[in-house]
Structure 1
Amino acid sequence: MSGDYYQITNASELLWFAQQVNSGNNAINAQLTQDIDLSENGEPTEWTPIGTSLNAFNGVFDGCGHTVSGYVITNGDDDGASSFVSLRLGFFYNVSTDGVVQNLTVDGDISLVTSKSFISKTYSVYVGGITSLLNGRIYNSSNTGDISIAIDFSESRSSELSLFVGGIAAHCSSDEGEIKNCSNSGTIVSNNQFDLNKANREPENNIVGGIVGEISLGVVSGCTNSGIVHAKGADINYAGGIAGRSEKSTITACINAAEASVVAENVSTNVSSASEGVTSAGGISGYGAGTKAGTIDGCVNYGTVAVSGTGKTMYAGGIGGYLKNTAVTSSSNIGSVSFTDAVEANEADVYVGGVVGYNDYSTKLVQAKLTNCVNSGSVTIGKVDGDSLYAGGIVGGCESAISGCVNSGTITNDSVSEAKASGGVVGICVENTASVENSTWAEETAESGIGVNNGGVSVPESKPSSEITEKAVATLAFESSELTLKNGATSTMKIQTLPAASANFAEHAKITGVTVEPEGIATTTYNSDGTISLTGNSLGTATLTVTAELYAMNYEDMTIDTSAPSTLTLTARVTVSDRSSEGLSLSPAALTLEAGKEGTLTASLLPEGTADKIASVTWSSDNEAVATVTSSEGVSCAVAAHAAGSATITAAAVTTDGYSYEESCTVTVSEAGTPAPEPVPDDPTPDTPHNGGGGGGGCSAGFGAMALLALAPLAAMRRKK
Structure 2
Amino acid sequence: MKKIIITIFLCASFAMATWDGSTIQPQQSMRNGKKYYLISTPQELAWFAEFVNDGNTNANAVLTKNIVINESATSNSLSWIPIGSEESHAFDGIFDGDDFTIQGIYSKGKIAGLFGYIGTNGMVSNLKITSSLIVAENSGFGGGVAAVNQGSISDCVVEASLEETETQVYAIFRDYLEYAKNISFKDFNDRMNASGPAFLGGIVGSNTGTISYCEFNGTNDEAVFSMGGIVGEMEDGIVSHCINRGNITVKGDFEKAIKDNRSSSTVSITYSIKFHAGGIAAEVSGMSARIENSINYGNIMIDNKTSFAGMDGYVGGIVGYAPHGMVSRSVNKGDVTILMSIVGDVAMLFAGGVVGYAQDSLVNNANWGNVVANMQPVFANSDCQAYVGGITPNTKKVFNSFSAASELSSDCYSRYIYATAMNATTDMRLYYNSNGTYGEPGKAIGKPLNIFSSRAFADTLNAKAPSVWKYIDGTVSPVEPGKDVLSSSSQGNSSSSNSVSSSSHVGSETFISKVIPQIKVQLESRRIYVSGFHKGTPYAVFDMQGQVVVNGSVSATNIVVPVPRQGSYVLVIGNAKRIVCVK
What is the aligned partner in structure 2 of residue 468 from structure 1? 452
**1:382 deviation in Å?**
4.2
Say if 1:337 and 1:378, in contact at 8 Å, map to a contact too.
Answer: yes
- Counterpart of 1:150 (choices 156, 159, 165) is 165
Q: Structure 1 residues 505, 445: closer, same or farther in 2, change over 3 A?
A: closer
Q: Offset at 1:404?
A: 1.7
Matched, 1:101 2:134: no
Computing the radius of gyration from Cα coordinates, the structure with the larger value is 1
Structure 2 letter corresponding to 1:266: G
Match of 1:374 in 2: 366
Q: Does 1:389 align with 2:423?
A: no
Give SS of 1:266's match. coil
Mark the runs of 5 or more structure 1 residues left unpaired by the alignment.
77-86, 115-122, 158-192, 361-367, 429-440, 475-496, 515-522, 551-567, 577-721
| Equivalent residue, structure 1, for 2:115 | 92
- Structure 1 residues 404 and 152: CA distance shift in structure 2, 3 A: closer
CA distance in 1, matches of 2:447, 2:299: 25
Matched residues in 2 for 1:288 and 1:42: separation?
Answer: 31
1:67-100 deviation per Cα after TM superposition (whole angstroms, max 9, x unaligned):
22244334x4xxxxxxxxxx32222333333333
CA distance in 1, matches of 2:47, 2:405: 55
Which residue is equivalent to 1:18?
Answer: 49
- 8 Å Cα contact 2:202/2:216 also seen in 1: yes
Structure 1 position 222 matched with structure 2 position 213? yes
- Is 2:486 the partner of 1:502? no
Paired residue for 2:36?
A: 5
8 A contact 2:143–2:200 mirrored in 1: no
Task: Render the CA deviation track for 1:368-424: whole Å, top value 9, x for unaligned.
Answer: 22222222211123473451223222222x14222222222122435152x213356
Match of 2:150 among 120, 129, 135: 135
Matched, 1:50 2:45: no
State the match for 1:715 in structure 2.
Answer: none
C-alpha spacing 1:501/1:341, structure 2 compared with 1 (3 Å): farther
Question: What is the DSSP-based 3-state SS (H/G/I as helix, E as strand, rest coil) of the residue aligned with 1:387?
Answer: strand
Would the alpha carbon gap of residues 540 and 350 (structure 1) be closer, same or farther in structure 2, given more than 3 Å must change?
A: same
Equivalent residue for 1:353? 352
Q: Matches of residues 486-501 of structure 1 in structure 2 within 5 Å?
A: 501=473
Bigger share in helix = 2
Question: Aligned AA for 1:306?
Answer: M
Deviation at 1:328, TM superposition (A): 2.3
Residue 408 (str. 1) matches residue 411 (str. 2): no
Provide the residue aligned with 1:189 in structure 2: none
Q: Is the 8 A contact 2:418 2:439 kept in 1?
A: no
Q: Deviations over 1:100-140 (max 9, x none)?
A: 323233335225498xxxxxxxx642333333333333332
Answer yes or no: is the 8 Å Cα contact 2:140–2:198 preserved in 1. no
Note closer, same or farther for the CA distance 1:426–1:541 as it changes in structure 2 (3 Å cut).
Answer: farther
What CA deviation, in whole Å up to 9, does each residue of 1:589-635 have, x standing for no partner? xxxxxxxxxxxxxxxxxxxxxxxxxxxxxxxxxxxxxxxxxxxxxxx
What secondary structure, in the 3-state scheme, does the structure 2 residue paired with 1:512 have?
helix
- Tell me how far apart the structure 2 counterparts of residues 337 and 40 of structure 1 sit (CA, whole Å): 35
Alpha carbons 2:330, 2:366 under 8 Å: kept = yes
CA deviation profile, 1:684-712 (whole Å, cap 9, x unmatched): xxxxxxxxxxxxxxxxxxxxxxxxxxxxx
Q: Note the C-alpha offset of 1:231.
A: 5.5
- Give the distance between the partners of 2:279 and 2:269, measured in 1 at CA: 29
Which amino acid letter does the alignment assign opposite residue 321 of structure 2? Y
Cα 1:463/1:424, change in 2 over 3 Å: farther
Whether 1:242 and 2:269 are equivalent positions in the alignment is no
Q: 2:487 — aligned with what?
A: 511
* TM superposition shift of 1:541: 10
Distance in 2, matches of 1:330 and 1:196, equals: 46
Q: How does 1:156-167 map to 2 (within 5 A)?
A: none
Secondary structure of the residue aligned to 1:132 is strand
Listed as ranges, the matches of 1:57-136 within 5 Å are 57-74=91-108, 76=109, 87-112=110-135, 124-136=139-151
Asked if the contact 1:39/1:70 (under 8 Å) is kept, the reply is yes
Question: Does structure 1 retain, via aligned residues, the 8 Å contact 2:374–2:386?
Answer: no
Distance 2:438 2:69 in 1: 61
Q: How far 1:337 sits from its partner (Å)?
A: 0.8
**Aligned with 2:205 (options 191, 202, 213):** 213
* 1:287 aligned onto 2:288: no
Q: Which amino acid is 1:107 matched to?
A: T
Shift of 1:336: 0.6
Distance 2:540 2:269 in 1: 49
Q: Kindly tell me: are residues 265 and 138 of structure 1, through their superposed partners in 2, closer, same or farther at Cα, counting changes over 3 Å?
A: same
Q: Find 1:264's aligned residue among 225, 231, 250.
A: 250
Per-residue Cα deviation, 1:251-270 (whole angstroms, up to 9, x for no partner): 3232222xx11222234686
C-alpha distance in 2 between matches for 1:536 and 1:247: 29
In structure 1, what is the Cα distance between the partners aligned to 2:440 and 2:519?
54
Q: Which amino acid aligns with 1:28?
A: A
Cα distance per residue 1:645-690 (max 9 Å; x no partner): xxxxxxxxxxxxxxxxxxxxxxxxxxxxxxxxxxxxxxxxxxxxxx
Q: Distance in 2 between matches of 1:506 and 1:113?
A: 37
Sequence identity percentage = 23
User: 1:271 and 1:404 mapped to 2: Cα distance?
Assistant: 44
Counterpart secondary structure, 1:142: strand
**In proportion to residue count, which structure has more strand?**
1
Partner residue in 2 for 1:333: 332
Q: Which runs of 5+ in 2 are unaligned?
A: 1-27, 178-182, 259-266, 378-382, 460-468, 491-498, 521-529, 547-567, 577-583
Between the two structures, name the one with larger relative contact order (CA 8 Å, sep ≥ 6): 2
C-alpha displacement at 1:223, in angstroms?
2.5
**Change in 2 beyond 3 A, CA 1:261/1:384:** same
Distance 1:264 1:426, change over 3 A: farther
Counterparts of 2:344 and 2:471, CA distance in 1:
37
The equivalent of 1:483 in structure 2 is none
Tell me, in whole angstroms, the C-alpha distance in 1 between the residues paired with 2:152 and 2:268: 38
Q: Secondary structure at the match of 1:464?
A: coil
2:274 pairs with 1:302: no
For residues 444-472 of structure 1, the C-alpha deviation after alignment (integer angstroms, 9 at most, x for no partner) is 2399999xx99585763442242332245
TM-score w.r.t. the length of structure 1 is 0.51
Deviations 1:563-583 (A, max 9, x none): xxxxx9999999x9xxxxxxx
Q: 1:69 to 1:573 in 2, by over 3 A?
A: farther
AA aligned opposite 1:211 = I
CA contact (8 A) 1:506 1:529 kept: no
